[in-house]
Amino acid sequence: ETGVTQTPRHLVMGMTNKKSLKCEQHLGHNAMYWYKQSAKKPLELMFVYNFKEQTENNSVPSRFSPECPNSSHLFLHLHTLQPEDSALYLCASSQDGASGSNEQFFGPGTRLTVL
């Protein structure tokens, strides 16, 4: 039990669909992150929110749209995705940005398949 939950755990969608991934953290953290993990590739940071403000957008295509309504919830809205977007999408949270170890706690991920 990591304290970070993600739904759904698995998602299959067509290229014309619109769907959303949800992340919730129960750790009282102030920073939240979206990562993409593709097979045999490094984890790629997509977005960072700190105190609900977006502080990092790592050149992510506009078909991925994040939303952070409060420090506990993070969404990733998906539309008109491509098959190469199929991957494991991981959410993480940390206390804040850079003080101390400030390790990131990861959720179990959403396995996304785009047909």
Partner 1 sequence: GQNIDQPTEMTATEGAIVQINCTYQTSGFNGLFWYQQHAGEAPTFLSYNVLDGLEEKGRFSSFLSRSKGYSYLLLKELQMKDSASYLCAVRDGDYKLSFGAGTTVTVRA
Which residues are at the interface with partner 1 (CB under 8 A)? 2, 4, 31, 33, 40-45, 48, 50, 55-56, 58, 90, 97-98, 101, 103-109
Could you count the other beta carbons within 10 Å of the beta carbon of residue 35? 22
Q: For residues 79 and 88, which CB has a smaller minimum distance to partner 1 in the complex?
A: 88
DSSP-derived pairing of the beta strands 53-57 and 4-7 = unpaired
Least Å from the CB of residue 52 to partner 1: 14
Least Å from the CB of residue 13 to partner 1: 20
Q: For residues 17 and 60, which CB has a smaller minimum distance to partner 1 in the complex?
A: 60
Are 58 and 47 in contact by the 8 Å Cβ rule? The answer is: yes
Are 106 and 6 in contact by the 8 Å Cβ rule? The answer is: no
Least Å from the CB of residue 40 to partner 1: 7
Q: For residues 55 and 82, which CB has a smaller minimum distance to partner 1 in the complex?
A: 55
Least Å from the CB of residue 44 to partner 1: 8
Q: For residues 33 and 64, which CB has a smaller minimum distance to partner 1 in the complex?
A: 33
With a CB cutoff of 8 Å and minimum separation 6, the contacts of 98 are none
d(CA 54, CA 58): 11
Give the largest Cα separation in the chain, rounded: 43
